[in-house]
Structure 1
Amino acid sequence: MIDRRNLLAGIATTFALAACGRGGGGEGVLRVGSQKGGTKSLMLASGALDGAPYKIEWSEFPAAQNLLEAIGSGAVDTGLVGDAPFQFAYQAGSPIKAIGAQTTQQRVPGAIALVVPAASPIRDAKGLKGKRIAATRGSVGHYLLLRAMLSAGLSAKDVKTVFLAPSDSRAAMQTGAVDGWSTWQPYVATSLAEGDRIAIDGRGLTQGYGFDIAHESAIRDKRALLADFLQREAKALQWASAHVDDFARVLSQETGLPPAIAKEMASTGSRLRVPIDRNVIERQQVVFDTFRQFGEVKADRPVKDAFVLKL
């Protein structure tokens, strides 16, 4: 069995935070944030940054919320996050915009899921009534939980949401402090590896979009660098979809994840670049409306203003 404490601690540790405090990084430097097992692993594995005419300063974070805080503060120029945390941060007033969009070609089970102990009575969304579910506030896991509740006709009073960081959620479920955990990869894979099971899968409930986010000052001052980085990232995504084993090896090396879990993470649906168009923006309105319906956001910034249609 995997050592839960060591593995989750490794996943959740924030790396290279010292790089975040170096200021603007200069005109020839792009400061890129990455969630564990995310953009950095992808770009290194694919070699997509070979020959780039600028320097990359990497910073790694355990969750999108931490990454978005760094972008919003101007400590990081850009980074990839899910649609839910992006809308959550944008509606909180963060000076950020989406400059690129990705989506999964064919969604497979487990990319986003609500996991429970094997013996749990929770089998579907209706089973959430009266239960305590861990989630990271504003995350794709939080959004999945809300959409699952809506699908079962449950209100905020019917389910107790316990907001925890990923590093604390698994331990809370194992001790019985919570009945389930709504989360994303690689946390789904680590939970399943220890005998838990998926009670609610994100397919059909969440939209699966990811967005490259940038601070408004970076969009103004480093537009050419951001445009070049997005082109290289698009090539890296195409490479990853055709080289799962190679990608998984680098994921394992970069994250410390066991090879089997890295392979599962690399296999949970290949992503491709898609244009930011009216359809994408309309679907993000659904994300915002869901958070607002449950009282999770109070602001009402126009969703359409959160996107840069073309760099």
Structure 2
Amino acid sequence: MRTVTLRRSLVALFAATFAFAAITHVQAAAKDKSVLRIGYQKYGTLVLLKANGTLEKRLAEQGIEVKWTEFPGGPQLLEGLNVGSVDFGTTGETPPVFAQAAGADLLYVAYEPAAPTSEAILVPQDSPLKSVADLKGKKIALNKGSNVHYLLVRALEDAGLKYSDIQPVYLPPADARAAFERGSVDAWVIWDPFQAAAEHQLKARTLRDGQGLVSNHQFYLASKTYAEKNPQVVVALVDEIRKIGEWTKANTDAATAQVAPLLGLSAAITRDAVERQRYGAQLISPQVVEAQQKIADTFTDLKLIPKRLVIKDVIWTRSDGAPTQAAPAKLATAQ
């Protein structure tokens, strides 16, 4: 019964809003085709791209306006993508899996290199818990369907535990932090910059990060309709993301100074988050498809999604006949 409830609640997270896709389809199709609508979260490469303004300048030459919409997390962003309120956005590894299981209209376009240290299982500084094995029977806060959901599953598996051995407490980051601070949960699985903030401000201790367990890729996704109709815009967008990522790697201090006030965090906290992230957007490779398929299969085996998924079915390929992996050329050399 518990497994059935978990499965229903996780898929329902995405399916509830996706049910309105048919209603909003006409509105989405009627939108101004000269506007690119990008969904972003509080932190990540898209925040830097938005602040930099280079994408707007590049697309203005094609008569395209860029509009930005902030979302609190990956699941909500993909709901927006599916119902037609945005055309493009970024999430971690797990949200697209649950979104695909719920029938979302999405395509994987590109990804960032692995960043396994930018998510972790945290415990209070004075916690008696010393290893993941000690989490048996404990309450663990996490944002369900997010990238850290897979980290938790893998960490438990590596420690010889089952998902049913712990008590998941599904909370968004702000509520999870509050529960963590007052001791309502024993551990918190979270990503940057919330992770870095908890380490600095709460002196939270890392029980296990993603090293040796998960890749923690960031994915860039587009609605199928938009990507297939506007391949040249998608290529330009990924190229600009790659460029701002390369700039960030070479200008960590400047990137930190730019992002810190947007996050409302200190430079020290922000710098940790910026340095743990990885940059150099690339179009989707077969190896990444394979890794993402493994994530999907894991959640299917846990009966947290109701059916087997085929990740390669939702990978973007250019409709104008140009080879996706070769355009733009610089993407192939990004690390």
Counterpart check, 1:125 vs 2:132: yes
> Which residue of 83, 91, 95 maps to 1:85?
95
Stretches of structure 2 lacking an aligned partner (at least 5 in a row): 1-26, 319-323, 325-335
- Secondary structure of the residue aligned to 1:267 is helix
Flag the structure with higher helix content: 2
> Which residue of 31, 39, 42 maps to 2:37?
31
Alignment CA distance shift 1:145-1:201 (3 Å): same
TM-score, normalised to structure 1, is 0.87
Alignment CA distance shift 1:288-1:114 (3 Å): same
Quick check: 269-278 or 143-152, which moved more? 269-278
> Which residue of 236, 248, 254 maps to 2:262?
254
> Which residue of 72, 86, 104 maps to 1:62?
72
Q: Is the 8 A contact 1:248 1:263 kept in 2?
A: yes
Q: Is the 8 A contact 2:142 2:176 kept in 1?
A: yes
* Aligned counterparts, 1:1-311, within 5 A: 25-49=31-55, 51-52=57-58, 53=60, 54-104=64-114, 107=115, 109=117, 111-193=118-200, 194-310=202-318
Match of 2:6 in 1: none
Alignment CA distance shift 1:275-1:219 (3 Å): closer
User: Sequence identity of aligned pairs in percent?
Assistant: 32
Q: How many equivalent pairs are there?
A: 288
Instruction: Give the distance between the partners of 1:281 and 1:46, measured in 2 at CA.
Output: 30
Match of 1:11 in 2: none
- Secondary structure of the residue aligned to 2:280 is strand
Higher relative contact order by CA 8 Å / sep ≥ 6: 1 or 2? 1
TM-score, normalised to structure 2, is 0.81
Instruction: Give the distance between the partners of 2:286 and 2:182, measured in 1 at CA.
Output: 45
Once the two structures are TM-superposed, the CA of residue 267 in structure 1 deviates from its matched residue by 1.0
Quick check: 94-103 or 38-47, which moved more? 38-47
Q: Is the 8 A contact 2:116 2:215 kept in 1?
A: no
Q: Is the 8 A contact 2:111 2:284 kept in 1?
A: yes
Match of 1:18 in 2: none
Once the two structures are TM-superposed, the CA of residue 47 in structure 1 deviates from its matched residue by 4.6
- Secondary structure of the residue aligned to 2:169 is strand
Instruction: Give the distance between the partners of 1:49 and 1:308, measured in 2 at CA.
Output: 21
Instruction: Give the distance between the partners of 1:220 and 1:306, measured in 2 at CA.
Output: 12
- Secondary structure of the residue aligned to 1:218 is helix
Instruction: Give the distance between the partners of 1:134 and 1:29, measured in 2 at CA.
Output: 38
Q: Is the 8 A contact 2:49 2:241 kept in 1?
A: yes
Match of 1:16 in 2: none
Once the two structures are TM-superposed, the CA of residue 101 in structure 1 deviates from its matched residue by 1.8
- Secondary structure of the residue aligned to 1:227 is helix
Q: Deviations over 1:142-195 (max 9, x none)?
A: 111101111112112211111111110011112222111111001101111221
Instruction: Give the distance between the partners of 2:134 and 2:302, measured in 1 at CA.
Output: 19
After the TM superposition, list the runs of 4 or more consecutive aligned residues in structure 1 that deviate by more than 4 angstroms. Answer: 22-25
